[in-house]
Structure 1
Amino acid sequence: MKVIHCVTGLALVGTMAFAGALGESAKSFGIKAIPESTSELLKYIDQGDDPITASKIELGKMLYFDPRLSRSNLISCNTCHNLALGGADAVPAAIGHKWTMNPAHLNSPTVYNSVLSEVQFWDGRSPHLEDQAQGPIQAGPEMAAPKELVVERINSIPQYVEMFKSTYGPDVKIDFERIASVIGVFERTLVTPSRFDDYLNGQSDALNKAEKDGLKLFLDKGCAACHNGMALGGTMQPFQVAKQYKFANLGGFTGDENGMVKTPTLRNITETAPYFHNGAIWKLTDAVKEMGSTQLGITINDKEAASIATFLGTLEGRKPQIIYPILPPMGDKTPKPTFD
């Protein structure tokens, strides 16, 4: 993973006062920068029971891209969380097995920076990525592969067996939980520091005046009440606080048992349209205005929405370089795809 070294030159001293004040204001709302150093970042992303290593990252990446984890051999994790499309899929609702649309019309959230979120899924039912990875593989409208089928497939592919042994030891049990866990290890590395992080970390010229104005408006309007932390989102929050969401009936999703919905990360938000849990709004400025009405009970006009969107553009992150893997060939006993 790249480490971005930010150096502030002496010529910037004259602008530091304003930059520092606005940056500190953002931090006072609970917004946190992605750390510059790899060692500091690892404190946030490497807290699972399956510590990050280079061999786990490579194995997890291969499994992430392998469509043979699905019943049909056609759908991989990358199908809905496409790393070339901002970590999402650019459609309103996820499409899975037998061309099935998600029954609640749920939009695929980005996998980038998902490790920075406190919970996973729109209803927050998974506490971390290793647990989350188990769900879509088994879900009927998604990859539709029972645990037993996935385990049999992976254990029937000699190269995968050797990779698991060399990564976890010769006595490793390649069960469903282990397969999902190593996918989660790979996903934990998909962190994308941006110019906004550079700014919070002290590089005062990382944002221009229009972007700083948008940040100030973002804070003044109250957007940071929910979009805070390192993910600028990722916590469970009440939805439709001030007014009903205009597309609330699309899909019928109402959140968890308490009506709480996971706040989506704003990182790379300019790359992950359409927006909201049901993918009903395609234009970022329209999404900003809808949030003003629905959550804050205020009117955000076109000029203000454009200014906030200008700031949101600074959250476009530097993506880790991902080289598409060459996947190992199937064995003689590898279960064949089915399409029922």
Structure 2
Amino acid sequence: MKTQLTMIAALLALAACKPNPPADAPPPAAASEASTSAPASANTDDAALLQQAQGIFKPLPSLEESKQSYTYTDEQVKLGQQLWYDNRLSVNDSQSCNTCHSLTNHGADDRMTPTSEGAHAGKFGARNSPTALNAFLLGSQFWDGRAKTVEEQAKGPLVNPVEMAMPDWAAVEKKVESIQGYADTFKTVYADKGGKPSIDNIVHAIGAFERTLLTPSKWDDYLKGDVNALNEQEKRGLKAFIGNGCIACHTGVNLTNDTFQKFGLVKGPYWDFIESKAPHDEGLFEVTKKEEDKYFFRVSPLRNIAKTAPYFHNGSVKDLATAVKVMGETQLGKTLSKQDVDDIVAFLGATTGEVSAEALKVPELPK
């Protein structure tokens, strides 16, 4: 009966998934090839689990592989890194991309508030800031998927009145061009695209930098065939993750199937399980205005999830174990055992990787 209930919940989740709207952007780079055989020394159970995992998940691509699906130069990455860390892209020189997506905090806001405070003191965004790490591999950006690529996503915060609060993209272009060092660099780096800091060139550079933010981990070593890369608890957590039906939504390279799912699919409404003030966030509905899209949100990627608290679209849950329990109840209709919760948390921790030392360097900014 327990197995049947899990299968039913998983089928419900799959049936309710909404695919991302079609996009003009090139598809994400293919993930690195994984060895499909376990070492000869692996025991039968370990070998079977590895083979099962390799059929469900994929390791991260290398930086070289990721470049195959998107064209950028090293000079554009360097420029994008400067723009990423530059507070002058905000209306009052107080906010950079890194303010809400701190690379020292695995691409999430290190202020640990449920949502992020913007350029104007005391004003907070409506949703929790997702991590920027490995984000270019996703099929959509934002909790409601309104942007398809990291470049398109980068346009949003610049002119959001609560975030960086620039009045419009023309004002962003003018401000960047007024900084002589940037004006000179764009002439060279984007000579084939007008040589100016147009909004498209600005976000292309930021996106080029974001496309280097890969965080390979021991999880990737495991998927590539190292059966001993995970410890015993992490392997139990992987089994529990698969066995409880979490893979109805969390698969692939980023542990997401890149669709939208109703929060409160089996048990709801979702605000019965997390703190949420009325009027409650309606998710995808706010973009499509379709009644059937109410309370659907992008399925979250789970890489580095142990380092990116707080959780959910409104940042209302502070610890990962509680978030796992909430997912069990709302999406699977299950009360997960403490053992399963602890093991799943351990497994998710195995996906934690590190940002490169080069990306963590705050560059000298143009004058």
Q: Give the shorter-chain TM-score range.
A: 0.7 to 0.9
Q: Between the two proteins, what is the percent identity of the paired residues?
A: 40
2:86–2:365 contact (8 Å) kept in structure 1: yes
Amino acid at match of 2:173: V
Structure 1 spans left out of the alignment, 5+ residues: 330-340
Select the residue among 84, 95, 106 that pairs with 2:104: 84
Superposed, which structure 2 residues align to 1:247-326 within 5 Å? 247=274, 249-250=276-277, 252-257=280-285, 258-259=293-294, 260-321=296-357, 322=359, 323-326=361-364
Are 1:241 and 2:265 an aligned pair?
Answer: yes
Are 1:172 and 2:210 an aligned pair?
Answer: no
What SS does structure 1 have at the residue aligned with 2:297? strand
With over 3 angstroms needed to count, the CA separation of the structure-2 counterparts of 1:167 and 1:71, relative to structure 1, is same
Select the residue among 118, 127, 131 that pairs with 2:148: 127
Compute the displacement of 1:285 (Å): 0.7
Within 2, Cα distance between the matches of 1:282 and 1:70? 29
Within 2, Cα distance between the matches of 1:210 and 1:13? 22
Select the residue among 217, 220, 223 that pairs with 1:194: 217
Task: Give me the TM-score of the superposition, normalised by structure 1.
Answer: 0.87
Within 2, Cα distance between the matches of 1:180 and 1:112? 16
Superposed, which structure 2 residues align to 1:51-130 within 5 Å? 51-89=71-109, 90-102=112-124, 104=126, 106-130=127-151
My pick for the range that moved more, 213-222 or 152-161, is 152-161
Within 2, Cα distance between the matches of 1:273 and 1:103? 16
Within 1, Cα distance between the matches of 2:89 and 2:34? 44
Task: Give me the TM-score of the superposition, normalised by structure 2.
Answer: 0.81
1:243–1:293 contact (8 Å) kept in structure 2: yes
Pairs aligned (count)? 315
With over 3 angstroms needed to count, the CA separation of the structure-2 counterparts of 1:60 and 1:306, relative to structure 1, is same
Are 1:23 and 2:50 an aligned pair?
Answer: yes
- 1:34-61 residue CA offsets vs partner (Å, 9 max, x unmatched): 13x4433434xx43xxx12110110001
With over 3 angstroms needed to count, the CA separation of the structure-2 counterparts of 1:19 and 1:33, relative to structure 1, is farther
Within 1, Cα distance between the matches of 2:264 and 2:105? 28
Amino acid at match of 2:191: G
What SS does structure 2 have at the residue aligned with 1:177? helix
Within 1, Cα distance between the matches of 2:352 and 2:274? 27
Compute the displacement of 1:103 (Å): 5.0
Amino acid at match of 1:140: P
Are 1:328 and 2:366 an aligned pair?
Answer: yes
- 1:15-37 residue CA offsets vs partner (Å, 9 max, x unmatched): 164443212212333x21113x4
Amino acid at match of 2:121: W
Compute the displacement of 1:7 (Å): 12
Compute the displacement of 1:325 (Å): 0.7
Instruction: Name 2:58's counterpart in structure 1.
Output: 32
My pick for the range that moved more, 266-275 or 237-246, is 237-246
What SS does structure 1 have at the residue aligned with 2:83? helix
Within 1, Cα distance between the matches of 2:138 and 2:172? 27
Amino acid at match of 1:93: T
Compute the displacement of 1:320 (Å): 1.6
Compute the displacement of 1:127 (Å): 0.7
1:110–1:272 contact (8 Å) kept in structure 2: yes
Within 2, Cα distance between the matches of 1:176 and 1:92? 30
With over 3 angstroms needed to count, the CA separation of the structure-2 counterparts of 1:168 and 1:125, relative to structure 1, is same
Amino acid at match of 1:189: T
With over 3 angstroms needed to count, the CA separation of the structure-2 counterparts of 1:124 and 1:248, relative to structure 1, is farther
What SS does structure 2 have at the residue aligned with 1:99? coil
Within 1, Cα distance between the matches of 2:102 and 2:301? 16
Within 1, Cα distance between the matches of 2:34 and 2:176? 46
Are 1:42 and 2:78 an aligned pair?
Answer: no
Within 2, Cα distance between the matches of 1:144 and 1:240? 33
